[in-house]
Structure 1
Amino acid sequence: ELEGSVSVLACPSGYSIGSANWLFKTEYERVGYMASSSVRSTHSRPVEWEKLQDADALILTSLSRTPDFSSEGAVIEVAQTVMDTLKRGGNVLMPVNPVGSIYDLIDVVSRSIDNA
């Protein structure tokens, strides 16, 4: 707990030993910070997505591809998490380079918003 008003929870990111995603909670808000994460089963501790699902805001810091992971599947999964956050009135900040899969993600989220 920080300063008695903010709780901080480290969640396994499945990326490397000691790597984590973070959830910052106050009495009224939940902010998720998603760092480099991996769904590969060879990592020592699997990623825990469920702890970030109810965040009011989600900060994404890394989107990348591995040979056995579908970028299309990643775009759909991230887009769904973004849409869930936006539907609850939350915000999503994604500081990423404007290349590759990010355009697919923007397109999927945009169409989902139009169809909502």
Structure 2
Amino acid sequence: MADNDVVYIELTEGIKRVMGNTKLYVKLLNKFKADPSLEALLAAVEGADYEKAQGLVHTIKGIAANLSLTELYKQSVDFEVQIKNKEVKSGVPESFKTCFEETIKNVDKVIEQYG
């Protein structure tokens, strides 16, 4: 799948989830952007603290679902299963981090457009 086929934000769906309140959606995106969970998650995985990692990835997954951050949600589901099984495949944390960073870039565009 080419990068341009990846959907990072389903904007229409995200705004629908907050009853059409674009201002609230932008506020929630800003809050998501400021959350330090990614660094904590990657550190927990690296340190094999799977219990902590599972809680963090679950939180990211929930936020991604609620904000319609589509690709991040998909990768969170897969990453959570690997963490739960204590079998994180090589390269997965790095690719999750890349997805998270790309999501943030897309979030920035939405904030710039609607904020």
Q: Same fold (TM over 0.5)?
A: no
More strand by share: 1
Which structure carries more relative contact order (alpha carbon 8 Å, separation 6+)? 2
TM-score (norm 2): 0.30
More helix by share: 2
TM-score (norm 1): 0.30
